[in-house]
Amino acid sequence: MKNFDGYKYIDGGVCAAKGFKANGLYCGIRKSHSNGIPGANVKPDLGMVVSDVMCNAAGVYTQNKVKGAPVIVTKKNLAATGGKAQAIIVNSKNANTCNADGEEKAEKMCCLTAEAVGIKPEEVIVASTGVIGEILPIEPIENAMNDLTAGLSYDGNEKAATAIMTTDTFKKEVAVEFELDGKTCRLGGMGKGSGMIHPNMATTLNFITTDCAVSAEMLQKALSEVVKVTYNCLSIDGDQSTNDMCMVMANGLAGNAQIVTEGKDFDTFKQALYIVMMNITRLLAKDGEGATKLIECTVSGAKDTDAAIKVAKSVICSALFKSMIFGEDANCGRIFCALGYADAEFDVSEVDVYMSSSAGRIKVGEKGLVIGYSEEAAAKILAQDEIAVDISIGGGNGKATAWGCDLTYDYVRINGDYRS
């Protein structure tokens, strides 16, 4: 992970910040079978995060017109409390989406959580991920609630991070420590997502906690600005989930003066949020379904940030480009093709393109043309598991990075039998 002055990476994920407990367990939302033995090799499917005190909270959500019931209920809850929350309840294996009783089930999950931890139902953030269109059984969640809350601990972050996984192959956690107003503050998060990722706020669920004191309004401002250049610059397969959400909770236990306006303290907090969200974005891209390579595309010289984002995402989203990376075939005309249909204004004759990895860096395009390069050097670069493409499109100040992964045979296999 890239180092940033004034920020220190620490362990703990959503429990890194003072006053946050978490847990995760298997409750049986979808019955697991291995070699005909029910319950064998089970994965956790229910998680919880709870703050010792009330938090200011903010969220961003999927822009898919079809929204999961938990998204709808969480938005209602935050509106009712004026941006306050104290707990998160989340399940995997079932998205609770496109079901007639979806909102009723999501609200029931809030009520069960509230009763178990001693808060109000509207002070609960609820989330689900998994298969769309299957009725969510509430009984396994209800039956597991006592064990879930009894097992809450200040080092339970790994259990919670594992509980939200679906086709993910590893848990995704990042946390940092920084100074603010003479106080040590911590901010950490967990995310999940492997396929059905093309966010514009990804199936991604992201939960971030901090002990920094920040008003709900400034928390929302920071989150909305940072998500634009992190999660919204991520694409695995071009499918935008119905259940995406990214939530941030700030309990203020670090003791700093509450951030209520823009300024130096707000910028310091916002940078911490960026570091955590950017690194989780990279982890999500690296763990794309069937992926063997992480791709990072940085565009500079654009007229503004929005134009740079459009060009970078156009390349990252190209199935032909993603296939090229998988095949380790430096067919660089595909890069030019993909950037050329981006919905952004630039002069193609000013485009320069470089490819790099731990094996080196080569120039493959200059002034809008594919140029001669060493095929041997290109093959060595593309043989690595992290590939960078740097594109300059002019003399503007706009710059942005987008993240994705290669497109492999396994992506089709995984999604061909997703429900089995």
Q: Which residues are catalytic?
A: 203
What is the rounded CA–CA span in Å between residue 91 and residue 24? 9
As to burial, measured by CB atoms within 10 angstroms (0-12 exposed, 13-18 middle, 19+ buried), residue 183 is middle
Which of 302, 293, 173, 280 has its CA nearest to residue 234? 280
Kind and range of the H or E run holding 85: strand 84-91
What DSSP state is assigned to residue 129? B
Q: How many CA atoms lie within 13 A of 107 on its CB side?
A: 8
Joined together, the tokens standing for residue 11 give 């362990």
> What is the residue type of 28?
G
Distances, alpha carbon 45 to alpha carbons 134, 390, 407, in Å: 15, 39, 28
Neighbours of 239 (CB within 10 A): 15
As to burial, measured by CB atoms within 10 angstroms (0-12 exposed, 13-18 middle, 19+ buried), residue 42 is middle
For the chain, the first-to-last Cα distance in angstroms comes to 35
What is the rounded CA–CA span in Å between residue 342 and residue 58? 31
DSSP state letters, 338-354:
HHHTSSS---GGG-EEE
CB-CB contact of 93 with 167 (8 Å): no
Phi and psi (nearest 5°) for 358? -65, -15
